[in-house]
Amino acid sequence: MSTDLALQYASHSNGALRNLRVMNCRVCKCSLFGVAMRRCPQCDTPFSIEEFRFPQGSVRFCCPHCDQAYLGVDAYGLPVPREFECTNCRQQISVASMVVRPPARPTFAPPPPVVNPWQRRDQSGWFRGFLKTVWLGATNPYGLIRGTDPKGSSGIGFSVSLMLVMSLAAFLPFVAVLVLVPLMVPVHKDPHRIDPTGTGFLISMAVVALVPVVLMLIMACLSHLVLYVSGDTDFGFCRTMQAYAFTAGPMILGMIPCCGQYLVPFLFLWWAIVAGFALVKGQSVSPARAGLAVFVSIFVILAPPIAAIAYAKP
Residue-range domain boundaries for the chain: 1-107, 118-183+197-312
Q: Which helix (H) or strand (E) holds 69?
A: strand 69-71
Count CB-CB contacts under 10 A for residue 272: 18
For 113-129, write each residue's pLDDT tens digit: 678 999 888 888 889 99
Q: What is the pTM of this model?
A: 0.59
**Comparing C-alpha atoms, which of 285, 164, 278 is closest to residue 227?**
285
What does residue 18 show for φ and ψ, rounded to 5 degrees? -110, 125
Residue 270's alpha-carbon distances to 143, 202, 245, in angstroms, are 17, 29, 13
For 23-64, write each residue's pLDDT tens digit: 788 888 888 888 888 888 888 888 888 888 888 777 888 888
Least confident of 163-167, 204-208, 235-239, 266-270: 204-208
